[in-house]
């Protein structure tokens, strides 16, 4: 009988880390030791993983001894330092930062699109894609396999929690402050006057009763890092290096759940009925499309759900071989923790089979 593998959560005290602990608790029987790792200031904390109360250990070279698979949820610069340390000790690292995603020797894996790539990891590292990209991929992968994806234009409406705990707390603080201001947002510049400059952080502008057309840092020619991630990561995961992509990413005053409007063009003709057939059978996709009865994807209904919800599917009027649709996913689940868990399951099965 194969021994049970040991798993670590690096960044166990964060928002995504807390979801990781809950998800691993659901599959606790698959693992040997579960080790919680975080910064030195969090070391010694006691956190629950199901019925167990585990002590958080400080990150350091020796903390990875005996670990088989490690989930990393750390800032880019911290992952850049510590992921290679863990990998050098023989740990298979699944990293959620952006640092390794476009490295040609690091697979960028989404189970619904390219599960086999998880086994091809010359550096011992597997990257987790951006939360916006991961919300798109299950739907795109299914449609691409059937109709051949040629191009897509995407507008994303991204929740405050995409900026982490700081973003979520900032949204709640702003909503609380404007909640008692009757008529707020109905006169020029009044929201800025009510909130003050201190409420520009972390989005660059007030988010309550507003939308901010900037997610990520600025890049060349007016693009943002988030918009380029949607383009580059979708190409890599889908294995379509020439895929034409246009993306605009917008922050909206929603707590959890990234929404995206997609215009997709295919090699072959596609109807709404054919798209429904494909997506109803697609892994990781929930078809939510009965608009006459007000049934369609919304962030408030996506929270905590494992699948990506897709609806409002229409055949383009003016563009041949094209569909319009609306996709929503919990950015903390499929967009982060759940995809990492699913990738780890692929690796676990591979490593256990190698022990036989």
Mean pLDDT for the stretch of residues 135-149 = 98
**Domain spanning 5-128+336-355 has what CATH number?**
3.40.50.720
Residues 6+ away with beta carbon under 8 Å from 284: 111, 112, 138, 306, 307, 308, 334
Fold type of domain 133-330: Dihydrodipicolinate Reductase; domain 2 (3.30.360)
- Residue extent(s) of CATH 3.30.360.10 domains in the chain: 133-330
Per-residue model confidence (pLDDT) at position 1? 62
Structure tokens at 136: 């798109």
Per-residue model confidence (pLDDT) at position 181? 77
What is the Cβ-side half-sphere exposure of residue 269, based on CA atoms within 13 angstroms? 2
- Residue extent(s) of CATH 3.40.50.720 domains in the chain: 5-128+336-355
Structure tokens at 16: 């995504």
**Do 124 and 107 contact (CB within 8 A), yes or no?**
no
Alpha carbons 32 and 49: distance in angstroms, whole number: 13
Whether 71 is catalytic is no
Element at 87 (helix H, strand E): helix 76-88
Q: Is the pLDDT of residue 188 over 90?
A: no
Specify the pTM.
0.95
The DSSP bridge pattern shows strands 57-58 and 31-38 to be: parallel
Q: Is the pLDDT of residue 224 over 80?
A: yes
Alpha carbons 24 and 277: distance in angstroms, whole number: 33
Q: Is the pLDDT of residue 277 over 80?
A: yes
pLDDT in tens, 87-104: 999 999 999 999 999 999
pLDDT in tens, 16-48: 999 999 999 999 999 999 999 999 999 999 999
Put residue 252 in one of left, alpha, beta given phi > 0 → left and psi -120 to 50 → alpha.
beta
Alpha carbons 77 and 247: distance in angstroms, whole number: 26
Alpha carbons 307 and 305: distance in angstroms, whole number: 6
Find the catalytic residue in 110, 258, 263, 276.
258
Residues 6+ away with beta carbon under 8 Å from 108: 101, 102, 114, 117, 126, 127, 128, 129, 233, 236, 237
Per-residue model confidence (pLDDT) at position 94? 98
Mean pLDDT for the stretch of residues 237-244 = 98
Q: How far is CA 177 from CA 158, 184, 185, 195, 278, in A?
A: 22, 10, 13, 7, 46
Q: Is the pLDDT of residue 184 over 90?
A: no
Alpha carbons 32 and 40: distance in angstroms, whole number: 24
182 confidence band (pLDDT: 50, 70, 90): confident
Alpha carbons 69 and 303: distance in angstroms, whole number: 27
Tell me 21's DSSP state. H
**Do 297 and 328 contact (CB within 8 A), yes or no?**
yes
Residues 6+ away with beta carbon under 8 Å from 91: 8, 64, 67, 68, 69, 70, 124
Structure tokens at 285: 């996709």
Question: Counting Cβ atoms within 10 Å, is residue 152 exposed (0-12), middle (13-18) or buried (19+)?
Answer: buried
Whether 263 is catalytic is no
Find the catalytic residue in 71, 110, 131, 249.
131
Alpha carbons 125 and 101: distance in angstroms, whole number: 10
**Reduced 3-state DSSP string for 257-315:** CEEEEEEEEECCCCCHHHHHHHHHCCCCEEECCEHHHCECCCHHHHCCCCCEEEEEEEE
pLDDT in tens, 157-169: 999 999 988 999 9
């Amino acid at each position: 009988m194969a021994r049970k593998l040991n798993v670590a959560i690096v960044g166990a005290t964060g928002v995504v880390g807390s979801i990781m602990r809950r998800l691993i608790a659901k599959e606790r029987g698959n693992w040997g030791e579960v080790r919680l790792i975080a910064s030195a200031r969090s070391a010694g904390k006691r956190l629950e993983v199901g019925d167990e109360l585990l002590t958080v250990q400080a990150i350091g070279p020796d903390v990875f001894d005996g670990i088989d698979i490690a989930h990393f949820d750390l800032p880019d610069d911290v992952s850049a330092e510590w992921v290679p340390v863990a990998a050098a000790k023989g740990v298979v690292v699944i990293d959620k930062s952006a640092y390794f995603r476009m490295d040609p020797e690091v697979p960028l894996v989404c189970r619904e699109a390219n599960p086999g790539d998880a086994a091809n990891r010359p550096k011992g590292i597997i990257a987790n894609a951006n939360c916006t990209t991961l919300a798109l991929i299950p739907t795109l992968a299914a449609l691409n396999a059937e109709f051949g994806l040629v191009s897509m234009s995407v507008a994303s409406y991204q929740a405050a929690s995409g900026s982490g705990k700081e973003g979520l707390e900032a949204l709640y603080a702003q909503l609380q402050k404007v909640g008692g201001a009757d008529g707020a947002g109905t006169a020029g510049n009044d929201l800025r006057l009510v909130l003050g400059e201190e409420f520009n952080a972390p989005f660059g502008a007030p988010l309550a009763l507003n939308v901010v057309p900037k997610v990520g840092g600025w890049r060349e020619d007016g693009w943002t890092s988030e918009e380029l991630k949607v383009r580059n990561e979708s190409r890599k995961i889908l294995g379509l290096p020439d895929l034409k992509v246009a993306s605009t990413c917008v922050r909206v005053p929603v707590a959890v759940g990234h929404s995206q409007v997609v215009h997709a063009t295919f090699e072959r003709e596609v109807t709404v009925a054919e798209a429904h057939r494909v997506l109803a059978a697609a892994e990781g996709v929930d078809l939510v499309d009965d608009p006459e009865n007000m049934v369609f994807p919304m962030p408030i209904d996506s929270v905590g759900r494992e699948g990506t919800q897709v609806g409002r599917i229409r055949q383009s009027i003016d563009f041949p071989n094209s569909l319009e649709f609306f996709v929503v996913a919990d950015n903390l689940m499929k967009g982060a923790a759940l995809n990492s868990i699913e990738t780890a399951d692929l690796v676990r099965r591979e490593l256990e089979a190698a022990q036989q």
